[in-house]
Amino acid sequence: MSEIAVSLRAQVGSFALDAAFAVPMAGVTGLFGASGSGKTTLLRCLAGLGRCDGVVRIGGAVWQDDERGIRVLPAERGVGWVSQDSDLFPHMDVAGNLDYAIRRRPASAPRHDRSAVVGQAGIGALMQRAPLSLSGGERQRVAIARALLAGPSLLLLDEPLSAVDEPARRGLLDFVAEAAAGFEVPVIYVSHSLTEVARISDHLVWMEGGSARRAGSLADVVAGADFSRWLGDDAGAVVDAVVRAHDESWATTVLDSAWGQFTIGRIEAAPGDRVRLRVLARDVSIGRAPQGDTSIVNEFHVCVAACDPLGAGDLLVRMTPRGGGTAVLLARVMRQSAARLGIGPGADAYARVKAAALVHRR
Amino acid sequence: MNHGDVRALWLTGALALVTTALLLLVGTPLAWWLARSRHRIRPGVEALVALPLVLPPTVLGFYLLVLLGPAGAIGSIWEAMGGPRLVFSFPGLVIGSMLYSLPFVVQPLQTAFGAVPERLLDAATLLRAGRWDRFRTVVLPLSRRGVLTATVLGFAHTVGEFGVVLMIGGNIPGRTQVLSIALYNHVERLEYAAAHTLAAGLLAFSFVVLLAVYAFNRRFEVARL
């Protein structure tokens, strides 16, 4: 399978990066971690801009392998690069910036249609504008369009929303997700915001203290014990679902998920749309028997997969669907209650979801 | 202006033009290196480049005369290789002027190159621009004010030199006698009217040139906002 495999060591001042991970070379990979965890350093190394030792394999291409003496020059890697401050050339207008990328695109690179990219980015009206006259969101749209027009084999985005106003962020994230899917460009998206990463990512690499603590599918990494401990109160699972129908009489929307039907407050989406929910562990409770006498609508028959200590008196309970499958829900319960209910690995139980937040719809 | 003054005017113009052109060629890579390098010899090179700012021109001219003369370390080798006489000649004037005006060209370029954001260079590189492509399409356009300043200062400063040319070029009418030396000759011979013509001309030239630079840079600033 085609994958992005990275094993890199770098020393920047007193900060040491020593990160190794592999993720599928498709869709959006979130590179998530607190400020100073080494995300940007790692991204620069992927682009070939930073000093580092190790191995970088992108699908079939080896960009760096120091043992074999391979190091592809940054200009020959064909990465699309968008950083937090816009890197648009201020002495050219928007059209000039896009042309700069197209003119230098080699015949071997993917040739995305200029008008298709411009249309998708929604920047058709900005062509004659100077970069300095654009808003933060517009600048980043142009920067991403420019990166796409270079025909990249990999798109690297470094906190692209940090200089963008809150209202423009959602649209920009959607654009990144649509572009990644529509133009079939794998994306590595660096952010310290779990909301952003949860919205957009298919895979997640969690960085801490210069190393890649976990890498894998978004749902797996987010539901991991270490990650949950690190998040503390915000620990929770990600549930992907598909809109089945709306129930207008109750103003609810019914979703199909790996857990069965999931009912949430009415959302703006069409049947068939894919949505992503975030279910915090503190919003999930557990019982040994189904319970009809409760306000909670979403109750699922589950199998307890693991129990990990969380804080002094709590347990983080990991559950998978009783009927089988890899989906994961997390519940935060008191150790005392778990003992009373006899909840441990392998136990048969019912998970009750009190609240779920919609994080993404496409 | 008498015939000698006109010849001095042409010679000065030619010298300033050649010197400025060569200095831009040599000074650009030097300024780029100074702006970007973190090499430990950089402060030493920077000090050397700035030396003509503080050194009496006669000191520079004296050492050049010694080094480039037929018996000098460089001059002897040069002439053994078949090169033309360097002292008291136009090539000698060019060499002296280049050293004398070096900081006036290199420093504005260095400042301008250093102000080009690193992230724009990275962006160009990752869009597959090679070093020269990147320099031509990103660095130079963003440094045009610095290039203009360097060109004008290099030219004007060469026009105004005296001590270095006198030392290495002497005072040969039509060959090494530049305007500032012609002016000096007039004063020595008490020809104050002719001296006034040249002095006022040089004064006006210098002022107009600087005015043009500042006006142009101001216009740029307004346009960039």
Q: Considering A222, A246, A264, which residue would you say is the last residue of a domain?
A: A222
Q: Which residues contact A13 (CB under 8 A, 6 or more apart)?
A: none
Label residue A297 by pLDDT band (50, 70, 90): confident
Cβ contacts of A89 on chain B, cutoff 8 Å: 120, 123-124, 138
Distances (CA, A) of A10 to A154, A156, A358, B38: 21, 19, 38, 19
User: Per the domain annotation, does B58 fall within a domain?
Assistant: yes
Asked, for residue A344, whether it belongs to a domain, the answer is: yes
pLDDT at B221 (0 to 100):
53
Residues A268-281: what's their mean pLDDT? 91
> pLDDT over 70 for what percent of chain A?
99
**pLDDT tens digit string along A85-113?**
889 999 999 999 999 999 999 999 989 99
Which helix (H) or strand (E) element contains residue A115? helix A114-121
Mean pLDDT taken over chain A:
91
Classify residue B120: in a domain, yes or no.
no
* Partner residue opposite A87 with nearest CB, options B123, B129, B130: B123
Pairs across A and B, CB distance < 8 A? 55
Instruction: Give the count of domains, chain B.
Output: 1
**Residues in chain B closer than 8 A to A90 (CB atoms):** 142, 224
Backbone angles phi, psi at A314, to 5 degrees: -115, 160
Q: What angle do CA B88, B91, B94 make, to 5 degrees?
A: 105
The answer to whether position B113 is within a domain reads no
Residue B37 lies in a domain: yes
What pLDDT is stored for residue B214 in this prediction? 84
Residue A197 C-beta-side C-alpha neighbours within 13 Å: 25
Nearest to B126 among A47, A85, A91 (CB): A47
**Within this chain, do residues A165 and A275 fall inside the same structural domain, yes or no?**
no
Q: What are the pLDDT digits (tens) for A17-53?
A: 999 999 999 999 999 999 989 999 999 999 999 889 9
A12 pLDDT tier (thresholds 50, 70, 90): confident
Which helix (H) or strand (E) element contains residue A351?
strand A348-353
The structure tokens 């100074």 sit at B34
Q: Are A128 and A163 within one domain?
A: yes
Q: Which residues of B touch A (CB under 8 A)?
A: 119-120, 122-130, 133, 137-138, 141-142, 224
d(CA B41, CA B55): 21
The minimal CB distance from B120 to the residues A75, A77, A87 is found for A87
pLDDT given at position A32? 96
List b or e across A156-192, with b for residues whose CB sees 16 or more CB atoms inside 10 angstroms.
Answer: bbbbbbeebeeebbeebbebbbebbeebebbbbbbbb
CATH of residue B46's domain is 1.10.3720.10
pLDDT confidence of residue A106: 92
Look at residue B223 in the predicted model and tell me its pLDDT. 42
- Which residue range is the domain that position B24 belongs to? 3-105+147-224
Residue to mutate among B38, B126, B142, with most A CBs inside 10 A, is B126
In total, how many domains does chain A have? Answer: 2
Q: Quick check: pTM over 0.90?
A: no
Establish how many alpha carbons lie within 13 A of residue A47's alpha carbon, considering only the half-sphere containing its beta carbon: 30
* Cβ within 8 Å, pair A105-B128: yes
Do the Cβ atoms of B120 and A104 come within 8 Å?
A: no
When scoring A73, A97, A104 by the number of chain B Cβ atoms within 10 A, the one with the most, hence best to mutate, is A104
Within this chain, do residues A185 and A249 fall inside the same structural domain, yes or no? no
Digit-coded pLDDT (tens) for A158-185? 999 988 988 889 889 989 999 999 999 9
Closest partner residue to A79 among B119, B120, B126, by Cβ? B126
For residue A265, the enclosing domain spans: 234-361
Neighbouring CB atoms inside 10 A of A204's CB total 28
Question: Which residues of chain B have a CB within 8 Å of the CB of A47?
Answer: 122, 126
Bridging pattern class, strands A70-71 and A154-158: unpaired
> Would you say residue B135 lies in a domain?
no
Q: Which residues, 6+ apart, have CB-to-CB distance to A67 below 8 Å?
A: A55
Residue type at position B53: L
Q: Are B141 and A87 an interchain contact pair (Cβ–Cβ within 8 Å)?
A: no
**Domain boundary at A222, A257, A288, which?**
A222
CATH number at A7 reads: 3.40.50.300
Question: Over 70: is that where the pLDDT of A153 sits?
Answer: yes
pLDDT of residue B224: 44
Residues A82 and A145 in one domain: yes
| Contact between chains at A49 and B125 (C-beta distance less than 8 A) | yes
> Looking at the structure, do residues A217 and A260 belong to the same domain, yes or no?
no
The amino acid that residue A342 corresponds to is: G
Please give the residue of chain A at the shortest CA–CA distance from B125: A75
Q: Which residues pair with A15 in a beta bridge?
A: A12
Cβ of B224 within 8 Å of Cβ of A132? The answer is: yes
Q: Same domain, yes or no, for A147 and A265?
A: no
Q: What is the ipTM of this complex?
A: 0.86
Residues A350 and A279 in one domain: yes
CATH of the domain at A251: 2.40.50.100
């037929």: which residue's tokens? Answer: B70
Mutate to test the interface with B, among A87, A97, A103, A148 (most CBs of B within 10 A): A87
CB B32 within 8 A of CB B115: no
Q: Confidence class of residue B225 from pLDDT cuts 50, 70 and 90?
A: very low
H helix runs in B37-56, sequence order: 42-54
| End position of a domain, from candidates A222, A251, A278 | A222
A75: nearest CA partner in chain B: B128
Whether residues A264 and A214 share a domain: the answer is no
Who's near B53: CB < 8 A, 6+ residues apart? Answer: B103
Q: Determine, yes or no, domain membership for B26.
A: yes
Q: Are residues A166 and A296 in the same domain?
A: no
Quick one: A13 and A125 in the same domain?
yes
**pLDDT exceeds cutoff 90 at A289:** no
**Any domain includes B127:** no
Mean pLDDT of chain B: 90
Residue B20 confidence (pLDDT) above 80: yes
CB A78 within 8 A of CB A153: yes
**At B194, is the secondary structure helix, strand, or coil?**
helix
- Verify that A263 and A200 share a domain, yes or no: no
Query: Is residue B133 included in any domain, yes or no?
Result: no
Decide if B184 contacts B8 (C-beta within 8 A): no
Q: Provide, as residue numbers in chain B, all residues whose Cβ is less than 8 Å from the Cβ of A81.
A: 122-123, 126
Tens digit of each residue's pLDDT (9 = 90 or more) over A195-249:
899 989 999 999 999 999 999 999 899 999 899 989 888 899 999 999 999 999 9
The answer for B87, left when phi > 0, alpha when psi is -120 to 50, beta otherwise, is beta
Are A250 and A339 within one domain?
A: yes
Burial label, B119 (beta-carbon count in 10 A; 0-12, 13-18, 19+): middle
CA atoms within 13 A on the CB side of B193: 2
Residue A79 inside a domain? The answer is: yes
Please judge whether A87 and B122 are an interchain contact, meaning their C-beta atoms are less than 8 angstroms apart.
yes
